[in-house]
Amino acid sequence: MIKKILKFGGTSVGTIDRIQHVANIIKKEQSTGCKIIAIVSAMSGKTNELVKLSREISHDFNKRELDVLLSSGEQVTCALLTGALIELNMKAKSWLNWQIPILTDGDHTNARIINMHIEKIEKYLDQNGIVVIPGFQGISKVGDVTTIGRGGSDATAVAVAKIFNADSCEIYTDVDGVYSTDPNKIPVAKKIDKISYDEMLELSSLGAKVMQPSAVQTAMMYEIPLEVRSTFTDRKGTKIFNQENIDYTKSVTGVAYSKDDAKITVIGVEDKPGIAANIFEPLSKAQINVDMVIQNISSDEKTTDITFTVKRDDVSKTKQILKSDCKINFKEIIQNNKVAKISIVGAGMVSTPGVTYRMFRALSDESINILAISTSEIKLSVIIDEDNTLKAIKKLHSIFDLD
């Protein structure tokens, strides 16, 4: 008998009507002869509302208690959905974090699921019962409530799929699936039918926020087939699995962008070995993620300029570390927050020569200046002026046959 994990995000369970609709989806799925475990998020807006309450008390609200507070959101949805299933004459039962239990490791507000007790639930599934589990939470070894970070219901779904050895894990959300680029910005964006875990990871970490990246990573590690699909239509979504299972006809699968980055240039640094290490070691120790790095040729022979990108939120901290903690001399620091990162992603890129060249030529044809470049096996990213974002995405989407 096929065992399916169905995860429903906040907008999918945002109202009573929608919860009833979700109950009908589950009923239909079970009628095809599947065993169903449903994972639910808090009703949309609920988690923010609870966070807001905690902030009124303290901006540094105790994290143990924050977890107790926030976990109530999924508990509510869990009970409502189970009630709605029972109202449809289904056999259904909610199982809270401590009732399973879902065991976690790590810090409050940022835990990681390590195990679950499956016997009772397996037995209930064997009796044709539908199991409803709150996403985003678990309990620690000392028996405290722990949450697993924003978007954590995806992580719960994948962990449940892994531990229960499920045949598939379907992520129901408010979009149809993963698109070749942002459909709100580029109307010709196309839904992707099949995509590899790696591509999905590159796309989601670059702003196509359909699924939480660490959940995709876990699915990849344990080869759990995923499907992202809409709660509000019957259409098929995007299937996510191993690269080997995908027949690539196109070199590029999608174009992603993000506006989270800032460019920093350290001017007039002494040009000698060890300088880069002197700059990047203190930044790394301060948990600042440096993305792209370029060492420029300087006008005078004894010094050079070093350019790199960091998240915009980290800019002031970065500048402070450069001035105080890095053992380097430099003339000045220039920063530019008005940049965008544009990436083409595709597992077919490695086997298709000329993708890099075609991207650069296309941007040059549109008079878009490239400020920095980084590459990986399945991704090619450039930093450009923020104002050129839309023009760049349109052009790349078109020349790589994605329209």
Using CB under 8 A, list all residues that contact a copy of itself: 16, 19-20, 50, 53-54, 56-58, 61-62, 64-66, 68-69, 71-72, 75-76, 78-80, 82-84, 86-87, 93-94, 96, 98-99, 143, 145
The least CB distance from residue 15 to a copy of itself, in Å, is 9
Nearer to a copy of itself, 16 or 333 (CB): 16
Nearer to a copy of itself, 14 or 177 (CB): 14
Q: Which helix (H) or strand (E) holds 161?
A: helix 152-163
The least CB distance from residue 139 to a copy of itself, in Å, is 9
The least CB distance from residue 60 to a copy of itself, in Å, is 8
Nearest to 257 by CA among 324, 189, 322, 313: 189
The least CB distance from residue 54 to a copy of itself, in Å, is 6
Q: Which helix (H) or strand (E) holds 270?
A: strand 261-270
The least CB distance from residue 125 to a copy of itself, in Å, is 18
Nearer to a copy of itself, 69 or 192 (CB): 69
274 touches 199 (CB < 8 A) = no
- For tokens 């259904």, name the residue: 92
Nearer to a copy of itself, 139 or 347 (CB): 139
Q: Which helix (H) or strand (E) holds 156?
A: helix 152-163
User: What is the residue type of 145?
Assistant: V
CA angle in degrees (0–180, nearest 5) for 244-245-246: 95
3 state SS of 225: coil
3 state SS of 33: coil
Nearer to a copy of itself, 64 or 250 (CB): 64
The least CB distance from residue 76 to a copy of itself, in Å, is 5
3 state SS of 36: strand
Nearer to a copy of itself, 62 or 128 (CB): 62
> Which phi and psi (to 5°) does residue 3 adopt?
-110, 120
